[in-house]
Homo-oligomer: A and B are copies of this chain.
Amino acid sequence: MNLNIMVGGEAGQGVQSVGFLLAKAFARGGYHVFADQDYESRVRGGHNFYRVRISDSKVGAITETVDILLALNNESISLHAEKMTDSGVIVFNGGEGQEIQNTGNLLNAPLEALSIEQAGSKLMANTVAFGVAMGLIHYEQKIIKEVLQEHFGTDEIGEKNVVAAISGYDYAIRKFNGEFGSILNSIGDGNKMLLNGNEAIALGAIAAGCTFMAAYPMTPASSIMEYLAGKSEELGLVVIQPEDEISAINMAIGAAFAGTRAMTATSGGGFCLMVEGLGLAGMTETPLVVVDAQRPGPAIGLATRTEQSDLQFAIHASHGEFPRVVLAPANVEEAFWLSVKAFNLADKYQLPVILLTDQHLASSYSTVDKFDLSQVSIDRGLLYEEDQATSMEVYNQHKITHSGISPRAWPLPDHALVVTDSHEHDEEGHLTEDANTRTRMMLKRLRKSESLQEEIASPHVYGPDKAEITLIGWGSTYGALRETVDILGGRGVDINLIHFSEIWPFPIQTVPELLNNTKQSYVVENNATGQLAQLIRSETGIKITSSILKFDGRPFTPSYIIEKLKEEGI
């Protein structure tokens, strides 16, 4: 079972809120939901849409067809009518003088009129539309009310929204005279979480004990800091919005040096400004978590859209050489768990960890089973055990060890002095010009990659172990790729997927064997140059000659991938 609802309209018409309400209502009813947002870099006007996909089994991608289109303006009809399924219904705000008749699969709903009539203002036209959609499928009114009250509160505004929605609901039941197949009831206890990638990362950070974030707003990363800032008082954590990204990363480094778990988050342009700081974390061996929520570049690019084009940059960012970790969560669930892992690896190996997400993951909503917090472990790494608590001696913050990891301490009254430096330094952290110390320190730091390597999970393999066709992807495309395998597999194509979520250090122990097992493989990447393919080649020598690349700022859908494979004769 699969139902796709789209809400379209101008920025400012409340598209986002209807979309979220729909997703929430179905999640509450026990369904699996996946919802993405397509919006322009403006606050009013233009054209935005929200797609909500509802299913009784797991979904991790959107589809291009639409069963119900809530067209908050008429432009939405002209833009999306072609995507309608045969039995699909277009709900539009007709009113007086509206040309399109309420016939067939068009439902002329007086959204604004009902809003004014029921709630005294046309501001709730979008909530009316939500109600119409719910009415079309006869969904439980109890859930509708619950969800509206959670969203708008139980006071007057909440009540008005309920009334507006119910008026839409009733209107649909009364007036819709076309064919619409789906009548949906809730199917479970609704015990799934509905959240987006940014929220999952923020929750991961909270679970991991991050108490300090410094960040400068940048789409699509901003909502991580906004979520954390909203919880700062409740949880006692600090979120600071400084003058720029340079300040943000360096503040986080200071806070981490002082002993907290600290992070920053940005998108590519802001990440550019952070790369010198990244090197500072590398040189001073300061644990740090940096989120780069990618969007199409170069430069400002397409500010509100999606792309996977910072992979090579993230791996090579900053001058000089130092170990780092790059994790690219495949979905909302991994966003949470890799956020936790990022903090643990940062502490354990005393280095910067980059969480590489993108707009598609950051702002798409997905249902997941509630994260089991008892599975979250905190590993702060090797800590310095003080023999003389009040020594005031300088301890060796950068002690040269076999593993490259030095027992860690941070400045505390009555503890040893902690010293570090952006210059090459000796074990105590004081600057040095000595050639031999330099070489040993470089080797010490780089040595950390060896044990780090073992922390990196092997890519996911989905579908048969061996197949005629192998798709290779990374990060947020996982859902679309999995579904592609499901669909084509279901049609008898021998196909599987190798998907990377933990990319750097490159999982060299397993990847060569995995790839040598493949026959015809395609990298599928949301970029123009096939960066994962380049990386695979430089790390393994294996050349993936075929690729499906998309770099128009829009996410992949299974049908797009299938279409491209069809062009290749598959």
Contacts and interface: CB of A to CB of B under 8 A. Distances in A.
Interface of A: 40-41, 46, 246, 267-269, 271-273, 275-276, 279-280, 282-284, 292, 294, 296-303, 305, 307, 309-310, 312-313, 315-322, 421-424, 433, 435-436, 438-439, 442-443, 446, 527-529, 534-535, 537-539, 541-543, 551-554
Contacts of A436: 552
Contacts of A322: 297-298
A316 B321 contact: no
Nearest to A270: B276
Contacts of A301: 283, 320, 422-424
A157 to B, nearest CB: 32
Contacts of A267: 319
**A-B CB proximity, top 3 nearest:** A297-B320, A268-B319, A538-B538
Given A435-B553, A528-B442, A543-B541, A297 B321 contact: yes
Contact of A316 (B40, B312, B421): B312
Contact of A438 (B269, B279, B551): B551
A537 B541 contact: yes
Given A268-B319, A297-B322, A312-B316, 5 more contacts: A41-B433, A279-B299, A283-B300, A296-B424, A321-B529
Complex copy number for this chain: 2
Contact of A321 (B446, B527, B542): B527
A279 B302 contact: no
Contacts of A319: 267-269, 271-272, 292, 294, 297-298, 309-310, 313
A226 to B, nearest CB: 22
Contact of A282 (B280, B298, B317): B298
Contacts of A316: 312-313, 315-317
A40 B284 contact: no
A556 to B, nearest CB: 13
Contact of A283 (B246, B299, B317, B321): B299
Contact of A299 (B280, B317, B446, B538): B280
A10 B540 CA distance: 49
Given A272-B275, A272-B279, A310 B320 contact: yes
B320 A309 contact: yes
A535 to B, nearest CB: 7
A446 B528 contact: yes
A276 B283 contact: no
Contacts of A321: 297-298, 309, 527-529, 551
A423 B528 CA distance: 17
B446 A318 contact: no
A474 to B, nearest CB: 16
Residue with the greatest number of chain B CB neighbours at <10 A, chosen from A268, A282, A321, A534: A321
A551 B439 contact: yes
A297 B269 contact: no
A439 B305 CA distance: 13
